[in-house]
Amino acid sequence: MAAPRLPMRKLREIVRMKSAGASLRAIAAACLISASTAFDYVTRIDAAGLGWPLPRELDDDEALERRLFPNEATPRRSRPEPDWAKVHAELRRKHVTKALLWQEYRQAEPEGVQYSQFCELYAQWVKHVPVTMRQEHRAGEKLFVDFSGDGIDVIDPKTGEVQRAKLFVAVLGAGSLAYVEPVFDESLPTWIRCHIRAFEFFGGVPEIVVPDNLRSGVTRADRYEPEVNRTYAELAQHYGCVVLPARARRPRDKAKVEVAVLVAERWILAVLRHRTFATLEQLRTAVSELNDKLNHRLMRKLKKSRWQLFEELDKPTLRPLPETRYELAQWKVARVNIDYHIEYEEHYYSVPYQLAGEAVEVRATDTCVEVLHRGRRVASHARSGLKHKPTTLPQHMPASHRAHLEWTPSRIKQWAATIGPSTAKLVEEILGRYRHPEQGYRSCLGIIRLGKIYSNERLERACEWAVRHRAHSYTSVAAILKNNRDRIEESTPVQQALPFHGNVRGAGYYH
């Protein structure tokens, strides 16, 4: 049975975690895949000799897939699995272990799975058996995050406007040290910035962040394969941790933060219930002071404060902060318009014209807008706040468009002057008729190109005729050349009776 094809984003995450020394179990849990799938991909990564960061030539998704799957047609043999219900029943017997049951299974099925896969597959199967277990938290392993249900009002003294501020709460699993911050909304930018400040408060990064299934962090909530928001996943990659959302409607998965939110509401919101705040900064200062008191208050059963437990347990095991802060980047899927531009927040950014009609990903920070196609960056622009305006790079344009962009009134006049003074005079007259010279570009270029059809000498005579009779248009010059008016001597009296116009019918029309 062939290995399931994972999104390239997950595949890159497997390469990154493997290079960082993560275990097979951790990779499978972080990427929401089975241990056998994780084992297959790790084996392929080793065979391909890949490490993190990936080489530049593998930025393209197709190139990376070809490296990992050189023989796509080669089938993989599936291995028989044991009867998991029987294994589960046998494990309830005294002195029976998984190692013993695995040995018996391999005696019956010599081509069966290895012991590590046996344990992983059983762990996946047993998840369907409803159990309740007290969670044990390793030091520095998990950080639980959530928003409070209740809040406190901030009242603008000038307008009387009332805004409700909720609490963002982050708590470490082992020592229970809490970080609490009031915010006005639960948007993605707020969610990300709260995480950044929480990591800086703790002075390090845990291995795993466990959020609830709120929309700011989880794009698609699912009990088995939740989809983490792209920006949230990028934050985790920047800080070297993984995001494992709690299962929907399973409060025991995040009992630690549920208790921390309750404690924050009792020891912070309740204490501030009689105070009035005019700004969010005033409220943040008050919450920070009470949060500090909460973390230094002795817990009755342990006879230690959360801060003491943090110093003893979590702090030595937290991963160091990266050298730079994460720069908030929001992602969007867009389709390239026929004019080879994509739209982001009512501004238009160019991409290579060959991508017209293609779907691309847009990554936008406060200062930059990047466009990616199949995992490869194809365009980068300084972010603009001008509404309904384009930002266009010349290298993204087809050659014909670039040539048009390069035309200026002076350049067109210089080109016309190479044909003759009358041509230059006519072009100057045409450009001078418009408020914006660009409106006359097409007419002037059309006149100049008539020289390729009729010769520059005839064009110069036709332009002389047109200037004399004030026939300032491409249509007039084309008619003069077509009807051979440029070859008729100016002294002929019949031809000089009326100014020439391309739409005047000749005498022969009425016969």
Cβ count near 442 (within 10 Å): 11
Clarify whether residues 171 and 288 are in a common domain. yes
Amino acid 360: pLDDT: 92
Q: What is the DSSP string of 350-395?
A: E--GGGTT-EEEEEE-SSEEEEEETTEEEEEEE----TT-EE--GG
Judge whether 501 lies within some domain: yes
Kindly tell me if the per-residue pLDDT of 10 is higher than 90.
Answer: no
Domain that holds residue 57: 8-126
Using CA atoms of 132, 133, 134, 138 in order, give the dihedral in degrees to the nearest 10.
-140
* pLDDT class of 57 with cuts at 50, 70, 90: confident
Domain end among 317, 350, 370? 317
Among the listed ranges 285-294, 406-415, 458-467, which one has the minimum average pLDDT value?
406-415
Q: Residue 3 domain-assigned?
A: no
Is the residue at 135 inside a domain?
Answer: no
Q: Quick one: 280 and 177 in the same domain? A: yes
Whether residue 435 sits in one domain with residue 352: no
Residue 205 lies in a domain: yes
pLDDT of residue 265 exceeding 90: no
Greater confidence (96 vs 103) lies with: 103
Same-domain pairing of 151 and 293: yes
Q: Last residue of some domain: 282, 317, 352?
A: 317
pLDDT given at position 248: 56
Pick from 181-195, 331-345, 430-444, 486-500: least confident: 486-500
Our CA dihedral for 157, 159, 162, 168, rounded to 10 degrees, sits at -70
Query: Mean pLDDT in the chain?
Result: 80
Domain shared by 225 and 86, yes or no: no
CB 249 within 8 Å of CB 223: no
Residue 452 domain-assigned?
yes
Q: Are residues 391 and 442 in the same domain?
A: no
Residue 104, CA distances (Å) to 117, 119, 232, 462 in order:
15, 14, 45, 102
96 and 75 both lie in a single domain: yes
User: pLDDT at position 299, please?
Assistant: 76
Two structure tokens written together for 6: 């994972």
**Between residues 133 and 291, the one the model is more confident about:** 291
Task: Compute the CA torsion angle 505, 507, 508, 509 (nearest 10 deg).
Answer: 40
| pTM over 0.85, yes/no | no
Same domain, 423 and 487: yes
Whether residue 472 lies inside any domain: the answer is yes
Give the model's pLDDT for residue 228. 74
The whole-number pLDDT of residue 137 equals: 61
Does one domain contain both 397 and 411?
A: no
Number of domains the chain contains: 4
Spatial separation of the C-alpha atoms in residues 39 and 14, rounded to whole Å: 10
Q: In the block, which residue shows the tokens 């199949």?
A: 374
What band does 77 get if pLDDT is binned at 50, 70 and 90? very low
Residue where a domain stops, chosen among 126, 150, 184 = 126
| 411 and 488 inside one domain | yes
Decide if 441 is inside a domain.
Answer: yes
- Name which residue leads in pLDDT, 202 or 259: 202
100 and 213 share a domain?
no
Each residue's pLDDT tens digit, 362-420: 988 888 999 999 888 999 999 888 888 888 888 888 876 666 666 678 888 888 999 99
The whole-number pLDDT of residue 220 equals: 56
Higher per-residue confidence, 86 vs 344: 344
